[in-house]
Amino acid sequence: MLLLRCPLLLLLLPLSSRPQKLPTRDEELFQMQIRDKAFFHDSSVIPDGAEISSYLFRDTPKRYFFVVEEDNTPLAVTVTPCDAPLEWKLSVQELPEEASGEGSGEPEPLEQQKQQITNEEGTELFSYKGNDVEYFVSSSSPSGLYQLDLLSTEKDTHFKVYATTTPESDQPYPELPYDPRIDVTSLGRTTVTLAWKPSPTASLLKQPIQYCIVINKEHNFKSLCAVEAKLSSDDAFMMAPKPGLDFSPFDFAHFGFPSDNNSGKERGFLKSSSKFGRQTSSKPRVDLHKVCIGNKNIFTVSDLKPDTQYYFDMFAVNTNTNMSTAYVGTFARTKEEAKQKTVELKDGKVTDVFIKRKGAKFLRFAPVSSHQKVTFSVHSCLDAVQIQVRRDGKLLLSQNVEGVRQFQLRGKAKAKYLIRLKGSKKSASMLKILATTRSNKQSFPSLPEDTRIKAFDKLRTCSSVTVAWLGTQERNKFCIYKREVDDNYNEEQKKREQNQCLGPDTRKKLEKVLCKYFHSQNIQKAVTTETIRGLQPGKSYLLDVYVIGHGGHSVKYQSKLVKTRKFC
């Protein structure tokens, strides 16, 4: 069995008046015959036991030949469409007696042999139309000239053909197990675990097999060739040779086709980086990913989107022959994201909110009456949080909040507000939030921009320290507390205790120093000082100042670590 694909053959054949033969694995088994040269821009002969890649222009048929010289010869032909359905037909016609090389006398000239073959209609053995990998297998084929006709009516495409007269010993394609299905063994929101039975080619014949998984959101693929075509450049066919020009089927890489040498290698899916990718000159297709995983028969696909349907295909690849067989593909939909419970906010009432690390919470505020303005007050207890406010779907506000912030938005009759609170990436978040349509309703006390407590080093004694802090123009109640700490107490420990939402009610009575009211109409002079007495020499103390608003809610200033003098 031989392949007509070499341009040099076309140049040499017309120069000879004798029947032309090409060497194959069995020198005496095949010979080349050519018919109707004007019908093809290149004639093709199929080699025995080698897979070839070729190209079809839309509505332009192509014909391949091979000769079987002996009756009762085993024969197998496999056609693999890549990215378009094919129509193909295999037929055979008898050779002239002289063409077999067994007749007596001088053989007829080549043109006369061709004419005899052309005038005869071959017997159709098999035909197929579709995009499946299809086979013709016969344990006993008659001698004759075999013709394989192919046509693509949908678009320009490429395909693969394999033929052999020794199908039992060749076995270039990996064999599928008795159950060729892919099983989904585990399903999560972003992961799917797949398992499959190993190919007998690996488990019994001990041939090197690796498995390649293909993931996409459109459909299952029937061949690895189809996957490679999808992964290749969108402009690949634009770079294909024009009809009428001869080119080698083994040089497709020069025309934008994926190289066969790389089809069995791992492309793209790098689990460590949680990204899919591939080496190509074209723009990557984000909806199709391929990863080869060696000889494992279980694999977890990660970094998927929740509530999304994915299609999974598995291909067993013989790394010796670089030829593959498709398992029966499957599909699965990842689980939905856990539905967020929406918390209803009541007008003028403070709501406590806890958010997991990297998490989010949704709140809803629906004023019962018409309103001109709506005020959102947020008190972040720990790290900064992000707040987004939408009114009837329209984004009105997106801000990061540290400490206490107040936002006033224009109202709208019968409006509904959706608040999204996003926590810190480092740790869990806690906050208090108040929504109201009453402009005079303020549960949280106003704070100065700087909430640090300043200690005066020169005023330190063995039994007292003097501190100061800023106030506001609003008259508020301030309470100061002290707590003795160890000498090795550091800033990291202090930071862990900086929950600004914990009020004086969580402190021991013995820790209370005093409470007083304070404000100043002149913001530049809104400073108060206090001397804390009755301390022990050479001891460290943690000082906290709480400001308490009219609604009874308190906010803590930044804690201050002080130390009395050891010797006075």
> Mind listing the pLDDT tens digit for each residue in 370-413?
788 899 989 888 888 999 999 988 999 999 988 888 888 988 88
pLDDT of 121: 63
Q: CA-CA distances (angstroms) from residue 313 to 223, 331, 468?
A: 9, 9, 70
Q: What is the DSSP letter of 270?
A: B
With left for phi above 0 and alpha for psi between -120 and 50, is residue 186 left, alpha or beta? beta
Q: Is 341 buried (19+), middle (13-18) or exposed (0-12) by CB count in 10 A?
A: exposed
Q: Which residue has the tokens 């000769």?
A: 67
pLDDT digits (tens, 9 = 90+) for 275-319: 333 333 344 444 789 999 999 999 999 989 989 999 999 999 998
CA neighbor of 68 nearest in space, from 11, 141, 139, 128:
141
pLDDT interval class at 205 (50, 70, 90): confident
Q: Which residue has the tokens 């007596």?
A: 104
Q: Residue 299 in 3-state DSSP?
A: strand
Are 160 and 79 in contact by the 8 Å Cβ rule? The answer is yes
pLDDT of 496: 65
Residue 436 pLDDT exceeds 70: yes
Q: Residue 200 in 3-state DSSP?
A: helix
Rounded average pLDDT over 417-434 = 89
Q: Which residue has the tokens 């009809």?
A: 243
Q: Can you read off the two tokens belonging to residue 287?
A: 């909806």
Residue 233 pLDDT exceeds 70: no
pLDDT interval class at 256 (50, 70, 90): very low
Rounded average pLDDT over 123-148 = 89
Q: CA-CA distances (angstroms) from residue 402 to 343, 384, 444?
A: 22, 5, 14
d(CA 3, CA 64): 7
pTM as predicted: 0.49
**What's the CATH number of domain 343-436, 2.60.120.680, 2.60.40.420, 3.40.30.10, 3.40.50.1220?**
2.60.120.680
d(CA 468, CA 455): 7
With left for phi above 0 and alpha for psi between -120 and 50, is residue 91 left, alpha or beta? beta
Q: How many residues does the chain have?
A: 568
Of the CA atoms within 13 Å of residue 415, those in its CB half-sphere come to 20
d(CA 369, CA 347): 10
Are 53 and 252 in contact by the 8 Å Cβ rule? The answer is yes
The superfamily CATH assigns to domain 453-563 is: Immunoglobulins (2.60.40.10)
Residue 36 pLDDT exceeds 50: no
pLDDT interval class at 484 (50, 70, 90): very high
pLDDT interval class at 491 (50, 70, 90): low
Residue 142 pLDDT exceeds 80: yes
Same fold, 343-436 and 453-563: no
Highest mean pLDDT of the ranges 47-56, 88-97, 190-199: 190-199
The CA-CA-CA angle for residues 449, 452, 454, to 5°, reads: 130
pLDDT digits (tens, 9 = 90+) for 54-66: 888 999 999 888 8
d(CA 557, CA 498): 9
In one letter, which amino acid is 477? K
pLDDT of 245: 36
Sign, CA torsion 398/399/404/405: negative
Rounded average pLDDT over 21-44 = 40
pLDDT interval class at 167 (50, 70, 90): confident
The superfamily CATH assigns to domain 50-95+122-170 is: GOLD domain (2.60.120.680)
For the chain, domain boundaries: 50-95+122-170, 172-235+286-338, 343-436, 453-563
Q: Residue 70 in 3-state DSSP?
A: coil
Strand 44-45 to 62-68 pairing: parallel
Residue 126 pLDDT exceeds 50: yes
d(CA 250, CA 204): 32
Residue 562 pLDDT exceeds 70: yes
CA neighbor of 464 nearest in space, from 558, 360, 359, 535:
535
Rounded average pLDDT over 465-477 = 91
pLDDT of 494: 67
CATH number of the structural domain 172-235+286-338? 2.60.40.10
pLDDT interval class at 97 (50, 70, 90): low
Q: Can you read off the two tokens belonging to residue 494?
A: 């202090």
The DSSP bridge partners found for residue 421 are: 361, 387
Q: What is the mean pLDDT of the chain?
A: 78
Rounded average pLDDT over 250-260 = 35
**Region of poorest pLDDT, from 102-116, 160-174, 380-394, 463-477:** 102-116
d(CA 2, CA 398): 71
Are 62 and 88 in contact by the 8 Å Cβ rule? The answer is no
Q: Give, for 495, the enclosing helix (H) or strand (E).
A: helix 491-496
pLDDT interval class at 68 (50, 70, 90): confident
pLDDT interval class at 117 (50, 70, 90): low
